[in-house]
Amino acid sequence: MAKSTHPAVVHYALEPNAVELREVAVPEIGDDEVLLEVGAVSVCGSDVHQARNTHSWQVNIPVVLGHEFGGTVAQAGRAVRGFREGDRVVSETAARICGECLLCRTGRYNLCPSRKGFGYGIDGAMARWVRVPARCLHRIPDSLPFDLACLAEPHAVAYQAMCVNSTIRPGDLVVVLGPGPIGLLCARMAALSGADPLIVAGLSADAPRLEAAGRLGATRTVDTQTEDLDAVVRSYSAIGADLVCDASGASRPLGMALGLTRPDGQVTKVGWSPETIPLDVNPLVQRNLRIQGSFSHNYPVWERVIHLLDRGLTLPETIVGLRAPLEDWREAFDAMHEGRVIKSVLLPGGLPAV
Ligand SMILES: [Zn+2]
Ligand SMILES: [Zn+2]
């Protein structure tokens, strides 16, 4: 690799639309890191939020966006064991952790208080090259193309939320609020876990996403602006849902989620917003509810979702609506923001010849 600079999508100021494609220095790797040639990086709702300055987390500007990615190892540091040049991999997102706290020592390093993730704390993968600690890597089968493998990250978010932090038994009534990429993948994980009925709810503008939910296994979709979701849920079970997953990415639907849940049921919240809300917490006590937040994922979850992706069990093509070269990042972001596609994937090496 002769070049010393490469193109990268950089978030450079904490104001709206402060993102641009820039030539930046190719990163240098440490002994326990690899330099990855990015094969594909998918656009996350959080990338779109950062670009519009509507995010609710701290961003170290300037930073290269992108935390959902896979690629080929181009160079491995001297201390790296188990990976070498030419290996096809995907990467977890906890780019920096302390390695010493209780959470790091018990394999829950994704919750390390010092954690810094790609794309907001550490330079991410919307670039030709990205520097990655070897401990973040997972090998992927040759049969799994990068433009689907990069979806391992949102898959891991959904798997953690529905299969680790929630309990679903076959025949459970599960409701998913919010049919964005994470909500749809949560619905798919619920379907794979045996949820039935499986209700996915969204707004009128979500019509194409609700249609995708049907293909991913929802037994019923609800437009909450034209239908009474509570009545639909109670038409299946008068006491309410066993599990409600709030994947709306907003704060306010949490009250609705509590209302839809049966006594002794569970609410899992994944996705967040800067908005704080007044909330009646009495139903939690009165109906013995469990409310569980879900944040990121760790090693065993990644191994599972890579298997699911490779076997095609999560129907990942259902959510990918746009594949574009890095130069077209803005269109990829806008298409998601405007709801024209569910998920965009950027291919920094360019589009494959068909
Ligand atoms: Zn993401
Ligand atoms: Zn730690």
Task: Tell me the per-residue pLDDT of 257-307, one tens digit each, with 9 for 90 and over.
Answer: 999 999 999 999 998 888 899 999 999 999 999 999 999 999 999 999 999
What integer pLDDT is reported at residue 58 of this predicted model?
A: 87
256 SS3 class: helix
For the chain, give me the number of helices (H) and strands (E)? 11, 16
Q: Which residues surround ligand 2, an ion (CB under 5 A)?
A: 97-98, 101, 104, 112
Distance 60 CA to ligand 1 centre (A): 17
Distance 47 CA to ligand 1 centre (A): 8
Kindly indicate the confidence band of residue 246, based on its pLDDT and cuts at 50, 70 and 90. Answer: very high
Which is nearest to 68 in space by CA: 351, 325, 302? Answer: 302
Cα angle for residues 274, 276, 277 (degrees, 5° grid): 145
Any idea which ligand is nearest the CA of 100?
2
The mean pLDDT value for 169-193 works out to 98
In this model, does residue 321 exceed pLDDT 70? yes
Q: Are 276 and 251 in contact (CB under 8 A)?
A: yes
Separation of alpha carbons 224 and 102, rounded Å: 42
Q: Are 106 and 126 in contact (CB under 8 A)?
A: no
In this model, does residue 92 exceed pLDDT 90? yes
Q: How many CB atoms lie within 10 A of CB 264?
A: 11
Separation of alpha carbons 255 and 252, rounded Å: 6
Any idea which ligand is nearest the CA of 343?
1
Distance 113 CA to ligand 1 centre (A): 19
Residues 6+ apart with CB under 8 A from 325: 346, 347, 348, 350, 351
In this model, does residue 154 exceed pLDDT 90? yes
Distance 46 CA to ligand 1 centre (A): 6
Distance 66 CA to ligand 1 centre (A): 8
Any idea which ligand is nearest the CA of 116?
2
The mean pLDDT value for 344-351 works out to 92
Structure tokens at 332: 């990829």
In this model, does residue 353 exceed pLDDT 80? no
Any idea which ligand is nearest the CA of 152?
1
Distance 278 CA to ligand 1 centre (A): 27
Any idea which ligand is nearest the CA of 68?
1
The 8 Å CB, 24+ separation contacts for 236-239 are 236/173, 236/197, 236/199, 237/173, 237/262, 239/263
Which is nearest to 133 in space by CA: 99, 168, 167? Answer: 99
Residue type, 6: H
What integer pLDDT is reported at residue 271 of this predicted model?
A: 87
In this model, does residue 354 exceed pLDDT 90? no
Which is nearest to 224 in space by CA: 196, 243, 252, 197? Answer: 252
Any idea which ligand is nearest the CA of 45?
1
Distance 50 CA to ligand 2 centre (A): 25
193 SS3 class: coil
Any idea which ligand is nearest the CA of 106?
2
What integer pLDDT is reported at residue 274 of this predicted model?
A: 82
The mean pLDDT value for 219-239 works out to 98
Tell me which of 46-50, 95-99, 128-132, 190-194 is least confident: 46-50
Q: What is the pLDDT of residues 25-61, one digit of tens each?
A: 999 999 999 999 999 999 999 999 999 988 878 898 9
Distance 240 CA to ligand 1 centre (A): 30
Separation of alpha carbons 145 and 130, rounded Å: 19
Any idea which ligand is nearest the CA of 151?
1
The mean pLDDT value for 11-17 works out to 93
In this model, does residue 156 exceed pLDDT 80? yes
Distance 148 CA to ligand 1 centre (A): 14
Any idea which ligand is nearest the CA of 105?
2
Which residues, listed in sequence order, are joined to residue 246 by a DSSP beta bridge?
177, 269
Distance 114 CA to ligand 1 centre (A): 19
pLDDT mean across residues, the chain: 96
The mean pLDDT value for 317-336 works out to 96
Query: Looking only at Cα atoms, what is the longest distance across the chain?
Result: 66
Kindly indicate the confidence band of residue 2, based on its pLDDT and cuts at 50, 70 and 90. Answer: low
Distance 44 CA to ligand 1 centre (A): 4
Distance 296 CA to ligand 2 centre (A): 15
What integer pLDDT is reported at residue 158 of this predicted model?
A: 98
Query: In angstroms, how far is CA 28 from the centroid of its own chain?
Result: 27
Give the predicted TM-score (pTM) of the model. 0.96
Q: What percent of the chain has pLDDT over 90?
A: 93
Distance 2 CA to ligand 1 centre (A): 31
